Chains A and B, each alone.
Chain A
Amino acid sequence: MKPLDPRLVRTASAVRVHLAVTVLCAAAVTGLVLAQAWLVARIISGAAAGEGLAELSWAIAAVAAVALGRAALSYGTEAAALHSAARAKSQLRRRLIARVTGVALPGSPEPPRGEPGRGPVWLAAPSGPGTGEGESTPRAGELATLATRGLDALDDYFARYLPQLVLAVLVPLAVLAVVARADWISALVVALTLPLIPIFMALVGWHTQARTRRQWRLLNRLGGHFLDVVEGLPTLAVFRRAKAQAAVIRRITDEHRHATMGTLRIAFLSALVLELLSTIAVALVAVEIGLRLMYGMVDYQTALLVLILAPEAYLPLREVGARFHASMEGVAAAEQVFAVLDERLDAAAGPDPAPERETSSRALVRPCRDGCAAPRLRLDRVSLTYPGRTVPALSEVSLVIRPGQRVLLTGPSGSGKSSLLALLLRFVKPTGGEILVERPSGSGSAPLSHIPADQWRRLIAWVPQHPYLFDDTVLDNIRLGKPEASVAEVRRAAELAEAHDFVSTLPQGYGTRLGERGARLSAGQRQRIALARAFLRDAPIVLLDEPTAHLDPDNAAAVRRAVARLLEGRTGVVVAHDSGWSELVDETVHITGGRIGAPL
């Protein structure tokens, strides 16, 4: 981890401005530090030489001016830094979202051309390679945290760390220059000890890191134990083990203390080195200059100046050391953002790129006002292998779906049913074979990939297994795909989806906010809202993924009625685990291990 990431400077214009301001402020602060030291030395030595208020009033007034100046700079640096931090965070956040979603709004930092965004499959995948430790959150969750709390740690980095870092370079050099002119021996002491500090700190840091890495598994297990036990309290209670665990908690916490203290004994050494070197150097300087003063080799004012300046040379270093860890959290978050921004997409498995605008293929899916006929879909030996996997999710699947035909896809879990829907939705593209879109009359055809994805998706209504509801009103949740729909239209769709009755019982009816991820509703109710979306979309093709899995009988029955209605007069693909849907469809296709098997 670098103290100053060049990518951070390059990509966020706010950072460049901030760096310039910081350097200017730091230079001014350095000047004031030197001025204050000189003035104080001048006043003390002057008073000792018998000068009174009249002779020294100019210097005392200057000290007041310096104090005001330092206060103003201190305020200005921090205010400017927080100001820049807010802008830099916003820039990084917007770049991240643009990159991930592939949506470039006017005025927003545009994603590199030709990049289609990451796509829903990438977002839903677990983040990072599975470590086998604990559950991995989907990327979506990790990114949401990163873009908010993660980047907030940059405040500390900008406001407290960077200014100190610049000071840590400027002040020691300036002090050294001034001290060298006054007393070369003191300058030598400072010049020899200063470089030792970063060297020793780095050495201790590496050692600590190595040790922590070695103990990582142990520390992780001991550290997570208390959480594990509290989470499992109901289970422990059922087996009458709840009370016995208290002793175990104490034992494990003590083990954790032993292990951690072992690491801390080494980690704290870096601060020890810093403090020892800086104070011993000051002590050496004080004694040396004191003796030379006694023998009349330097004058009192010079000696005082050296004594006051010597600790100032070490102060910014100590501040940087103290703030290092808190600030590095922000840098780590920024690095994670860059990792996402710089990651190259595996071309084979990403979502479809923007297709070349080909009029003939556009015509196949030209939006039509009333009774738009669905095209015929032909899957020609389609294969799909997800990135990082070796086993294909689908291999050489060939299938024809005629307009108005309703197909049931069955098969055990993991057989590739949902992957087929993802292909039709163009969340992923085939790694082999081709999906062809043909005119109902059979007079023209085009590969699916030649049709602009947005236009294609306008023909589709999709009801996923776990529909996502937004923290918004029922109304806006239903008209997701048709924002201009009237309340009456939404209500009609909800009636068809068997959702109207329960929506009417909500406190504000269709105006009720559903809470985070639709927390207000049960699984069956969420499913029916998703069906209402599909009805309102009124698309010629409907894709349904396990519409009644995990629903209780009442909800399942309602959803079935709605699905039956939705399939009427439309091309439909229903993915379901069992063949209980066979009465609603024209054909049943069985999939096992990514291949089409014998129909049941």
Chain B
Amino acid sequence: MTRPASPHRVSRPLLRMVALARPRGVRFALGVLLGALATAAGVGLLSVSAWLLATAATHPPITALGVAVVATRAFGVTRGVARYLERLVTHDAAFRTLADVRVRVYQRLARSEPVRRFRSGDLVSRLVNDTDATQDLLVRGLTPPLVAVVVGGAVVALSTALFVPGGLLLAAGLVLGGLAVPLFAAALGRRSGRRQAAARGELSTALVDTLYGAPDLVAYGAMEQAVLRVERADAELTRLARRDAAVLGLGSGASALVAGATVWATLLLGVAAVAGGALDAVPFAVVVLTALAAFEIVAPLPAVAAKLAAIRASGARLFDVLDTEPAVRVAEAPADRPGLPEEGAATLRVRGLRVRYGPDEPWALDGIDLDLPPGRRIAVLGPSGSGKSTLASVLFRFRDPDAGTVTLDGADITEHPADEVRRFISGVPQDPHIFASTLRENLRLARPGADDAQVWEALERARLAEDVRATMPDGLDTQVGAHGARLSGGMRQRLALARALLAQPRILVLDEPTTHLDPDTRDAVLDDLLAASEGYSTLLITHDLARLEHMDEIYVIVDGRVVQRGSHADLLAEKGWYRRAHGLGDPPRGGLRVVR
């Protein structure tokens, strides 16, 4: 069940992202230093060359130029080399930081296990992208402004030393061009983005509907209507985009204007100062050419401002997830309470279990009682949305009950660390994940020490061994692809089952192990599952009536409550949901048998 996350305002996401990254200080400082060196060399080259020409114009002895000649060459080489090293150092540092950030985010997720929010694959990949945005923050978000501050300061200091009004002008120009214009441009971009958001959404929906819904549209002769809707959405978005184009160009116009105006004002004041004798011709040339070159320092900053806005949004989303209350309390082992059973089979007892996903939400489970004695196999059956999977979440310790108890031989599972409980209760969660790795690694996940013989035995019991031998020449070393893409649906479910068996839990919980399978495969998997779970305490959660006659007991859950309980035969004999579901009892139109 997916419910939208409650909107929650994350304050200062950028600062928190920097704090989360705790960037490798020394490496980043080195990166900034190298970047500053590269930029400074570019400006310096022109300043020194200006000095060289202005001095040469006075026809001095050649020795007077020696230092400048060497300096120009040094600057010429420095710029390229320093830039290259800067990029290597900052990228390396960002990657190193990324490893830390990923581990920190992962640990936070592993601790709070917001399983429910993760149902949608899109959410997960967005979370991962948002985590990786810290890399961009460091390389593209923080380094360029720091470099600009260092070099800008140095250049302004140099100009001020030569000609005070020139230095002040340059300072004003750089602040305008490096701070005011980028912020202004970013604000314009955000405004236009907001204005276009609705039109963009409508276009995207219309396109998705038209392309994914093509079979239905064609069959019902409605394709023209759908294309018309796309065209309308496209026209509206294009209209807005064309209107906004007039505004979005302002940023680059302003950049050019600030640079040009600074040079112009420097020339004006400089000529007056030279004519008045307050300034020499040589420093005048240096100050003007430095001003010409100095705007290279702030050139990357408009892009940085736009990038930071995107990174900020990433941060807000990331912390929105990370700030979620853990769904499970961390239990401290209680001394005075019954401990988890030492060994042997255990009885699972659920009493008055109630769970809901928020204070204003309806009860997903509303007072469930359930008993699973050792070695028995029970099914929990109910329509979709009846709360069955919430029961599995509680048993797997993905979330705490809001009321009621779940005990193993009298020991309350919420009073023990989650991983201790999972030693007893394990199995196949809903949509079990197959990792992009080998068959062996996917299986040994459940028991890291298992040898190949044990792995094969588990495959044997899940009736996957034969398929593996027949179709996979690499055997256990076969790469199964992302999400097990190279396996068939049935093989994926059998793999998940084999993995659960390898874990050897005392209580095997199987949450909808046959969803998404076609009926043939479903029946075959269920048969194998029933054979494999022989002797285990098994709890099968399903919405499907197939093979239920083999279970010892069936609990029917509707709207979070147990409405019926008994064996297949018992339930068929009594009036109620189970009989109706089989098309028996008093169906409206001639009895139809679903299951023989």
Q: Does B254 contact A (CB under 8 A)?
A: yes
B residues less than 8 Å from A221 (CB atoms):
436
Whether A243 lies near B53 (C-beta < 8 A) is: no
A residues less than 8 Å from B220 (CB atoms):
457, 462, 480-481, 533, 537
Whether A144 lies near B215 (C-beta < 8 A) is: no
A93-B234, A282-B49, A561-B588 known; A307-B121 Cβ under 8 A: no
A75-B252, A79-B248, A580-B592 known; A120-B95 Cβ under 8 A: no
Min CB distance B100 to A, Å, is 8
Give bound CA distance, A504 to B96, whole Å.
Answer: 56
Residue A86 contacts which of B238, B383, B436 (CB distance < 8 angstroms)? B238
A221-B436, A457-B218 known; A78-B106 Cβ under 8 A: no
Whether B241 lies near A86 (C-beta < 8 A) is: yes
Min CB distance B295 to A, Å, is 11
B residues less than 8 Å from A537 (CB atoms):
220
What are 24 A-B contacts defined by CB distance under 8 Å?
A40-B263, A70-B260, A71-B254, A76-B253, A82-B248, A82-B249, A87-B238, A97-B230, A123-B214, A132-B485, A140-B208, A141-B208, A228-B435, A232-B435, A234-B398, A238-B396, A249-B102, A249-B103, A275-B80, A275-B84, A287-B72, A290-B49, A523-B384, A584-B592
A60-B268, A233-B113 known; A470-B227 Cβ under 8 A: no
A residues less than 8 Å from B288 (CB atoms):
40, 43-44
Q: Does A177 contact B (CB under 8 A)?
A: no
Which one of B54-62, B159-167, B365-373 is at the interface? Answer: B54-62
Residue B87 contacts which of A271, A284, A564 (CB distance < 8 angstroms)? A271
A residues less than 8 Å from B573 (CB atoms):
none
Min CB distance B188 to A, Å, is 11
Q: Does A549 contact B (CB under 8 A)?
A: yes
Of all chain A residues, the one with the shortest Cβ separation from B104 is A246
Residue A249 contacts which of B99, B436, B581 (CB distance < 8 angstroms)? B99
B residues less than 8 Å from A256 (CB atoms):
95
Whether B216 lies near A480 (C-beta < 8 A) is: yes
B residues less than 8 Å from A553 (CB atoms):
383, 543, 545, 580-582, 594
Whether A276 lies near B281 (C-beta < 8 A) is: no
> Beta-carbon contacts of A427-471 to B below 8 Å, as 1s and 0s?
100000000000000000000000000100110101010011011
Whether A240 lies near B419 (C-beta < 8 A) is: yes
Q: Does A229 contact B (CB under 8 A)?
A: yes
> Beta-carbon contacts of B244-262 to A below 8 Å, as 1s and 0s?
1110111111111101110
Q: Does B574 contact A (CB under 8 A)?
A: no
B residues less than 8 Å from A246 (CB atoms):
103, 106-107, 110
Which one of A45-53, A165-173, A388-396, A401-409 is at the interface? Answer: A45-53
Whether A280 lies near B481 (C-beta < 8 A) is: no
Min CB distance B534 to A, Å, is 21
Give bound CA distance, A460 to B448, whole Å.
Answer: 57
Whether B83 lies near A82 (C-beta < 8 A) is: no
Which one of A1-9, A261-269, A357-365, A368-376 is at the interface? Answer: A261-269
Min CB distance A27 to B, Å, is 17
Whether B56 lies near A243 (C-beta < 8 A) is: no
Whether B218 lies near A119 (C-beta < 8 A) is: yes
Contact count band on A = 35 or more
B residues less than 8 Å from A87 (CB atoms):
238, 242
Whether B252 lies near A78 (C-beta < 8 A) is: yes
Give bound CA distance, A103 to B221, whole Å.
Answer: 11
Which one of B40-48, B406-414, B463-471 is at the interface? Answer: B40-48
A residues less than 8 Å from B507 (CB atoms):
none
B residues less than 8 Å from A580 (CB atoms):
592-594
Residue A272 contacts which of B84, B115, B577 (CB distance < 8 angstroms)? B84
Whether A101 lies near B252 (C-beta < 8 A) is: no
Min CB distance A466 to B, Å, is 9
Of all chain A residues, the one with the shortest Cβ separation from B208 is A144
Whether A413 lies near B211 (C-beta < 8 A) is: no
Whether B238 lies near A481 (C-beta < 8 A) is: no
B residues less than 8 Å from A80 (CB atoms):
245, 249
Give bound CA distance, A523 to B515, whole Å.
Answer: 13
Min CB distance A104 to B, Å, is 9
Q: Does B205 contact A (CB under 8 A)?
A: yes
In residues 370-402 of chain B, which contact A (Cβ within 8 Å)?
382-385, 396-398
Give bound CA distance, A221 to B482, whole Å.
Answer: 9
Whether A516 lies near B205 (C-beta < 8 A) is: yes
Q: Does A108 contact B (CB under 8 A)?
A: yes
Min CB distance A572 to B, Å, is 15
A40-B267, A83-B242 known; A240-B284 Cβ under 8 A: no
A47-B271, A226-B102 known; A68-B260 Cβ under 8 A: yes
A245-B106, A561-B589 known; A67-B221 Cβ under 8 A: no
Give bound CA distance, A258 to B268, whole Å.
Answer: 54
Q: Does A215 contact B (CB under 8 A)?
A: no
Give bound CA distance, A105 to B228, whole Å.
Answer: 7
Q: Does A236 contact B (CB under 8 A)?
A: yes
A97-B210, A468-B212 known; A90-B53 Cβ under 8 A: no
Top 3 A-B pairs ranked by shortest CB distance?
A: A67-B260, A75-B253, A553-B581
Whether A144 lies near B485 (C-beta < 8 A) is: no
Min CB distance A469 to B, Å, is 8
B residues less than 8 Å from A66 (CB atoms):
260
